[in-house]
Amino acid sequence: MADFSVGVVGLDALGSALTRRLDEKGIGNTATDLNPRLLQAHLAEGGSAPAGSPFDLAQLCDLVLVAETSDATLREAVLGPTGLAHALRPGTIIVDMSEASPQTGAALARALYSKGTIWIEATPVGGAPEALAGELTLLTAGAGDALERVAPLLGVFASKLLRLGEIGSGPLAKALVSTLGAMSLAIFTEMMIVAKKSGLDPAGVLAAIPILAPRNGTPPAAVSAQVLSGLFESGISSRRIADDISQVLDAARAASVPVVHASLVQAAHTSAGYGPAATGDHMDLARWMANNAGVRFGEG
């Protein structure tokens, strides 16, 4: 780790946590953000040395952790007027930890290739609390030798580093798992609705599933905690799940793979967002399904 001068671009929740974790471990770092307010807040909280822009940071650092929260800000931080690209030195390693689509990271990696920049993907599973505790799981992709070099530093934030494949693998893997979760939620909710409408106790049916079908695994905890309780409040935005499903469908089209079930869930998810009881939470899907069937969970 001492071989690198470390920089962090992006000071939203995750990026801010990365800098605090580095500070706690005594690892010097420089931080910046496209948003002056976030940079000022970082300084007000006693954060590490600031750089006025990604451009300025690139002149100081040869290992840059980028933790942007959208495709647009990631592109601007790298290629914008004050972006990293205009000051990068050959051999600089960029570790992309952003919330962006698989296509964006891959396109930026190609754009910087001629500059001798090494682009690594380390898509985080977990958020700021996990980063501060060193308990993130990072889905990594990129050159194996570069990943080995930065692994000790990434281990400051993560308890697991999982190698997936080519650039773009991490965001797509997260989107696949997220879409699978949405599909699973829809299927289990549908079965619980049928059970209740048929006079069965949904909680009893849910508890019986691992016994009656042990090879199917355990039902998602959200079915009991959010659906059968009638709460429908996961704290995960509907927009985020919709974006994940769209990423999966885009990948499926590119690979000429039919994904009937994911397409159906996308349609249901979209319809649920227009329901009169929609709150913007991804559990709107389960609420919409129950309301359409005239079923009320969490009563009696």
The pLDDT value given to residue 56: 97
Do the domain assignments include residue 300? no
Residues 88 and 27 placed together within one structural domain of the fold? yes
Return d(Cα 8, Cα 140) in angstroms, integer: 18
pLDDT given at position 177: 93
Query: 131, 166, 201 — which closes off a domain?
Result: 166
Give the CATH number, domain containing residue 218.
1.10.1040.10
The reply to whether 56 and 130 lie within a common domain is yes
pLDDT under 70: residue ranges of the chain? 1-2, 300
Assess if residue 74 is contained within a domain.
yes
In three-state secondary structure terms, 49 is strand
Name the domain boundary from 130, 146, 166: 166
**27 in a domain, yes or no?**
yes
> What local confidence, expressed as pLDDT, does residue 28 receive?
94
Residues 59 and 73 in one domain: yes
Pairing of strands 136-141, 118-125: antiparallel
297 occurs within a structural domain: no
**What's the pTM value of the predicted model, to 2 decimals?**
0.83
How many structural domains are present in the chain?
Answer: 2
The pLDDT value given to residue 300: 58
Of 166, 194, 227, the position where a domain reaches its end is 166
Residues 216 and 255 grouped into a single domain: yes
Q: What residues make up the domain containing 226?
A: 172-292
Determine the angle formed by the axes of helices 202-212 and 169-197, rounding to 10 degrees.
120
pLDDT by residue (tens digit) across 215-225? 887 889 999 99
Helix or strand (DSSP H, E) at 62:
none
> Do 232 and 117 fall into the same domain?
no
CATH at 150: 3.40.50.720
pLDDT digits (tens, 9 = 90+) for 31-59: 999 999 999 999 888 887 899 999 999 99
Residues 115 and 183 in one domain: no
CA–CA distance, 19 with 157 (Å, rounded to integer): 10
Q: Are residues 126 and 181 in the same domain?
A: no
Q: For residue range 280-296, what is the model confidence (pLDDT) as tens digits?
A: 999 999 999 999 999 99
pLDDT of residue 1: 52
Phi-psi region of 199 (alpha: psi -120 to 50; beta: other; left: phi over 0): left
Q: What is the pLDDT of residue 217?
A: 79
- Of residues 43, 35, 55, 52, the one with CA closest to residue 19: 43
Task: Quote the DSSP letter at residue 24.
Answer: H
pLDDT value at residue 271: 97
Give CA separation, 238 vs 92, 225, 278, in Å: 37, 18, 10
Q: What is the strand order of the sheet 118-125 is part of?
A: 49-50, 29-32, 6-9, 63-66, 93-96, 118-125, 136-141, 158-165
Residue 238 lies in a domain: yes
298 found inside a domain: no
Q: Are residues 137 and 267 in the same domain?
A: no
Is 272 a domain residue? yes
First CA to last CA across the chain, in angstroms? Answer: 58
CA distance 285 to 297: 14
258: its two tokens: 């039919």
Residue 201 included in any domain: yes
